[in-house]
Amino acid sequence: MSTPSTTTSTGMPLTSSSLLKNVTRYEDLKTATTSKSSSEMGKQDFLTLFTAQLKSQNPLDPVKNEAFVAQLAQFSQLEALTNMQTSLENFVTSMSSERMLSSASLIGKKVSMADVPTALGETGGIDASIDLPSGASGVQLTVQDSQGRTVQDLIAGPQNPGTASLTWDGLDAMGNRAPAGNYRLVAQAVVNGKTTTVPVNTMTTVRAISTNASDGAVSLQVDGNQSVLLKNVQRIGM
């Protein structure tokens, strides 16, 4: 079967194969651009490829209008998604800064946190609380120093459902004053005949504030060089 041809003004035969000989295909340009950069194709790359397709289309078989409309729609969607992503990133950055500024007022204040070390001063003790939705027939509160060693064991009797308040007076098992420092309180409750560990809420001092760059979450650095999320704060004191 012969190749379809036409004739130029000089009388030279012009075939479809000769027309396409030096034409770069859109698919080839897209592949080359993708391989050149490992990042996702941006809207400028899309526009470059689209323009190249317009210039390089086969004059004997041009791209149909429907295909152009479809690609323009894709370009519009790409641009909209890019703008939306930029807006969201700016919003997250703005919210992170606002949270940082508003949370800075917590520095130096005491907050109620679960299962974090609490500072014992030269005088006084440590107040704590535990949540017992079903009550308990008995509670044991163990005080541990910064090395994890047991300083004192306190036994409490039956507790009604709700929040139970517990206090360590700062004395060790021998009745001597424990050194000032950070201590952790661990509680075990007997509920329905079973012994279970329950979180202990204590007041700890906020030393510094930080934010997570990826999601803007605010973290508090408290006594014992512990870092906890602001959302886990249950109560704020003076």
Q: What is the pLDDT of residues 95-144, one digit of tens each?
A: 556 666 677 778 888 888 888 888 898 999 998 999 999 999 999 999 99
DSSP 159: B
Give the pLDDT score at 136: 94
Give the pLDDT score at 4: 47
pTM equals 0.53
Q: What is the pLDDT of residues 184-220, one digit of tens each?
A: 999 999 998 999 999 999 888 888 888 777 777 888 8
Return the H-helix or E-strand segment holding 118: strand 118-120
Distance between CA atoms of residues 83 and 43, nearest Å = 10
Pick the more confident residue, 174 or 89. Answer: 174
Two tokens at 150? Answer: 């047991």
Angle between helices 26-36 and 43-56 (to 10 degrees): 150
Q: Indicate the pairing of strand 181-191 with strand 126-132.
A: unpaired
Q: Is the pLDDT of residue 162 over 80?
A: yes
What number of CA atoms fall less than 13 Å from residue 106's CA on the CB side? 26
| Domain 107-236, second-level architecture | Sandwich (2.60)
Q: What is the pLDDT of residues 30-81, one digit of tens each?
A: 555 445 444 555 567 767 776 777 677 767 666 666 666 676 677 677 777 7
Distance between CA atoms of residues 39 and 45, nearest Å = 11
Angle between helices 43-56 and 65-103 (to 10 degrees): 170
Contact 206, 113 (CB under 8 A): no
